[in-house]
A and B are shown apart, each in its own frame.
Chain A
Amino acid sequence: MNPDGKSQELNASQQQAADYTGGHLLIVAGPGTGKTHTLTYRIARISRQLKTGQRALAITFTHKAAEELRERLTKLFPDIRDKVFVGTFHSFCLSYLREHIADTDLPQKWNIATAYDLERLAGELWPDVPKRQVKKKLQVIMERKTRGSDEEDPSDAAAYNAFLKANALVDYDDLLLEARKLLSRAEKTEFTHVFVDEYQDINALQHALLKEFVRLGATLTAIGDPHQAIYSFRGADVSFFERFAEDFKGAAVLSLSDNYRSVPNLLKASGQVVPRETPLVSALTAGIYREGHLTVHDAPTDKAEAEYVVHQIEKMVGGTSMFSQDSGRVSSTPLAQRSFEDIAVLYRLNAQKSVLEEALARHGIPYQTSDDRPFAELTPIPELTVLLKDFRGSGTLNDAMTKLLQAATGERIFKDSRPVWRKNVARFLRMAKRFDMIEEFLDHLALQQPEDAIERRAENVNLLTLHAAKGLEFPVVFIVGCEQNLLPLSIENMVSDPQEERRLFYVGMTRAKEALFLTHARRRRLFGQGMSNPPSPYLDDIEHQLKEYDQTQPVRRRKDKSKSSQLELFKVS
């Protein structure tokens, strides 16, 4: 920031949002409008003016987003480091409860119940109930908690809560419930300013927590985009976004609508897909002026679709091997070259992933996938965590890890040679290096969400669900399975909200900066069953002129090549 407090890095509406001082503020920020950027400057401006004893609280949707925000803040404004707590709802509540443990109703020592713990406990609590129903029971209990419901506990929930208490465990929602309880008894808070990212995806319990802060005098800044609300199945409710001005007295609403991410034709296309009836949101205008590509591809099968994706990737990376280079599989003229990390392949369901993985592996293209389960639940992390818990109280985390390794050497956990297994153990060990205290590490593990699972060591093509792609951007994006019954999702046992499906597709499209491929297959196998779906209706919403139709089929090398070029294959060195 300049001495006069103005920053050249912000455009006029971003600057206005960063500078606003009139009270509660809702910032409507579409994809690529500089949301995090603006938020960073606003947090910085406000935090610098805080008095001693006052702090700011910035809440993000994932740990990764928290890390990124923290990084940006410290890089730009190292002086405000200690004045801002950056974290997710859960990590904030956890630290808040740990800090004020004496004032809570919790025992002195407690742990967060991981999904693994819950499964184990539920098995003890309802030994005769089939696993599936136990899962259902747990789901019902969780849903009640996220609604922030105050009604009398039904018997299942009461028994469950008593069980947790007896085992000194707190589940994820309890973190928020307990923190809210604590806040509701408080008379003041050091957090005079609270910032919430991705406000379109908050749930009732989180909303209630924010209300407590406001009751204690905090000023609230919420930022987000109702067009990108995609988590209602987890209890999120986009209506909180729409009701912001009613919920918080005197609130102002500002919008950011200059898009700096996507090339104009992609922006125009996503604008034709987005739901039109949302108030608050104005259309986005393009901030960059290059042209990009929107390609639609119709594949005969899901396998052919995956093969098409791989072929496009090979073309864009300019050939991954001498083989593809010399054999003419890719052009030898230097194209606009991409590297693996520039590319994301998005899909609606995790079940669509395996056919893509097979094709990528066959061509030796490195990729990474998002997991549908949090890291703490992946094999053999629960076992390792249980072992580690036994070493609590034996000094630092480093000591405990040494002991753990000694104790477990020769055990199955470290011997299993499955790559996934080894990968997870290696990551567990690496993660542990970032912490000093066992409790800190256990807390961190317990709070990991599936969205945090992507870890960057080497460059990879990203395979992600549309949900996991939220908040990310890539020069090249493929959305596979653009078909009815997948987008919008309508498969047996999987009910979905048509409006939310449309928003999900919009989220996917708006991840692309320069090139977007929308592919669909006439036949595919999913959950062991064949299905044949017409193209997604969303494709029809995009005007014809914006779409390039690529009907090339991947070349079947052996059949098509003449004898002389077969000989060439042997000359490759």
Chain B
Amino acid sequence: MKFYADCHLHSYYSRATSKQLNLEHLFYWAQLKGLQVVGSGDFVHPSWLKELKEKLVPAEEGLFKLKPQYADPMAKQVPAVCRGEVRFMLTVEISSIYKRLDKVRKVHNVVFVPSFKAAEKLQARLEAIGNIKSDGRPILGLDSRDLLEIVLETDPLAYLIPAHIWTPWFAVLGSASGFDRVEDCFADLTKHIFAVETGLSSDPLMNWRLKQLDPFVLVSNSDAHSPAKLGREATVYDTELSYPAIYRALSDPKDKGLIGTVEFFPEEGKYHYDGHRACKTRLHPKETKKHKGLCPACGKPVTVGVMARIEQLADRPEGEKPPRWRPYFNLIPLPEVIAEAKGVSGPDSKSVQELYHRLLAQLGNELFILQDASLKQIEAVGGDLLARGIKCMREGKVNIAAGYDGEYGTVHLFSEEDHQKKEGQLTLFK
């Protein structure tokens, strides 16, 4: 069966996350978003693991579901057209900060295990190494390679995926604290890495430009710090619903189970361009070069974003595809499209949220609306401008002021003219 999976996310035990990141809300939001498999996040954290063991029961092999007493009250709140099964996978992101080849490296990795037994084993190993209690995403002084070794020792099906590989500060290929090659990071164990996560600021098109990434499949996840952010990026599978089937789809080059990914427009990510957030300096890599890598406002080196970093390491021309590739679909979160259409600034505003939930209740989950719902239906519920906005998004006709140095990019789907037209409509109603 075809399903959407979002496996890199966090619980309320991680720092700077929403209090609502609990299993009940993950279960609820997964259905609104259209996800069938979500990560547990943070399973190394003792209290969170305890909660997972208490509230989840085994479903298909290596996957878990929420016990009825926790699921049922939430299910009632999900619009009937969105309701669906939700499975949990045990996942955790680990932050490794360590010195390698005389440079400080900061690399985030996502770890997957198929059972509570394996989760506990890993927890015990990491507990002996560092502090796993103060943050759901623990910070360890552990070399990524050694972490991988420990992961591989916990279970034959345990695996590790380098997280958002281009993020400047915390990623395997990041400009500020990563490596130039994935194998420089994982050394002799690189062959056990079979997938990498593209992160919000890059999409497959950009990743295809590096031949060194050809052996890996590209996956996407939301890295959500609040439940509403779930599914903003996800991976699409067509396999039997089970942990081993997902494992095979990722690790076996002959397996056809991995369909592709849904992605942010990379410009929307926080680190697409270069720049300085404090100085409000946003630079296209070409401009950065012109300024010799220094911020024109403060004169200090700018944070080098993903676009420039990829250009630096690329060895394949733009547009050319690697031998093995999978399709992807660029999305803008529905609340943002609605906010654009309404001409209001925040996707969290009341009127946006009201329409968002009305659309879900009448048409189906968010991934369906963004990708598959007919424009007519969308127009019927959300109005003409929204339908046109979704059409533009589907055709990739978007105008985005790219993100830089931790600042998200901002989307513009409509021209001044569009909005004027809208105002005209409003006048008509009056």
Residues of chain A having any CB pair with chain B under 8 Å: 317-323, 325-328, 332-334, 337-342, 360-367, 419, 422-423, 426-427, 457-460, 569-573
Say which size band chain B's interface belongs to.
Answer: 35 or more
Query: Is A364 a contact partner of B135 (Cβ separation < 8 A)?
Result: yes
Query: Is B139 a contact partner of A320 (Cβ separation < 8 A)?
Result: yes
Query: Is A341 a contact partner of B99 (Cβ separation < 8 A)?
Result: yes
Q: Name the contact of A332 in the complex, choosing from B105, B127, B277 (C-beta under 8 A).
A: B277
Query: Is B277 a contact partner of A364 (Cβ separation < 8 A)?
Result: no
* Stretch from B71-79, B188-196, B220-228, B236-244 forming part of the interface with A: B220-228
Query: Is B169 a contact partner of A318 (Cβ separation < 8 A)?
Result: yes
What 4 pairs across the A-B complex have the smallest Cβ distances? A459-B141, A458-B142, A364-B135, A326-B406
Task: Select the residue from B141, B177, B225, B301 with max chain A CB neighbours within 10 A.
Answer: B141
Query: Is B141 a contact partner of A458 (Cβ separation < 8 A)?
Result: yes
Query: Is A361 a contact partner of B134 (Cβ separation < 8 A)?
Result: yes
Q: Which residue of A lies closest to B301 (CB)?
A: A333
New contact pairs (19) apart from A318-B176, A366-B131, CB-CB < 8 Å: A322-B167, A322-B169, A325-B170, A326-B270, A332-B278, A332-B405, A333-B303, A334-B176, A337-B177, A340-B98, A361-B131, A361-B133, A364-B131, A364-B139, A422-B127, A426-B124, A460-B130, A572-B225, A573-B224
Q: Which residue of A lies closest to B295 (CB)?
A: A333
Chain B contacts for A338, CB-based, 8 A: 104
Chain A contacts for B15, CB-based, 8 A: 321, 323, 364
Distance in angstroms between the alpha carbons of A322 and B271 in the assembled complex: 12
Chain B contacts for A426, CB-based, 8 A: 124, 128
Q: A338-B104, A339-B104 are in contact. Are A319 and B200 (CB under 8 A)?
A: no
Check: B3 CB closer than 8 A to any chain A CB: no
Q: Name the contact of B406 in the complex, choosing from A325, A342, A427, A570 (C-beta under 8 A).
A: A325
Chain A contacts for B300, CB-based, 8 A: 333
Chain B contacts for A321, CB-based, 8 A: 15-16, 95, 135, 137, 139
A-B contact pairs, 22 of them (CB 8 A): A318-B176, A320-B139, A321-B16, A328-B277, A333-B301, A334-B176, A334-B301, A337-B177, A341-B98, A361-B131, A366-B140, A419-B127, A422-B124, A423-B127, A423-B128, A457-B128, A458-B141, A458-B142, A459-B98, A569-B16, A570-B226, A573-B229
Q: Which residue of B lies closest to A367 (CB)?
A: B131
> Chain B's nearest CB lies how many Å from the CB of A328?
7
Query: Is A317 a contact partner of B97 (Cβ separation < 8 A)?
Result: yes
Distance in angstroms between the alpha carbons of A325 and B277 in the assembled complex: 11
Chain B contacts for A365, CB-based, 8 A: 131, 139
Distance in angstroms between the alpha carbons of A365 and B132 in the assembled complex: 10
Task: Select the residue from B128, B139, B146 with max chain A CB neighbours within 10 A.
Answer: B128
Query: Is A339 a contact partner of B98 (Cβ separation < 8 A)?
Result: yes
Check: B408 CB closer than 8 A to any chain A CB: yes
Query: Is B141 a contact partner of A460 (Cβ separation < 8 A)?
Result: yes
Chain B contacts for A457, CB-based, 8 A: 128-129, 142
Distance in angstroms between the alpha carbons of A327 and B407 in the assembled complex: 10
Query: Is A572 a contact partner of B98 (Cβ separation < 8 A)?
Result: no
Chain B contacts for A333, CB-based, 8 A: 300-301, 303
Chain A contacts for B124, CB-based, 8 A: 422, 426
Check: B209 CB closer than 8 A to any chain A CB: no
Contact flags B401-426 to A (C-beta < 8 A → 1, else 0): 00001101000000000000000000
Query: Is A364 a contact partner of B138 (Cβ separation < 8 A)?
Result: yes
Chain B contacts for A341, CB-based, 8 A: 98-99, 141
Chain A contacts for B406, CB-based, 8 A: 325-326, 332
Chain B contacts for A360, CB-based, 8 A: 131
Chain B contacts for A570, CB-based, 8 A: 18, 225-226
Check: B276 CB closer than 8 A to any chain A CB: yes
Q: Name the contact of B99 in the complex, choosing from A318, A328, A339, A419 (C-beta under 8 A).
A: A339
Q: Which residue of B lies closest to A426 (CB)?
A: B128
Contact flags B289-307 to A (C-beta < 8 A → 1, else 0): 0000000000011010000
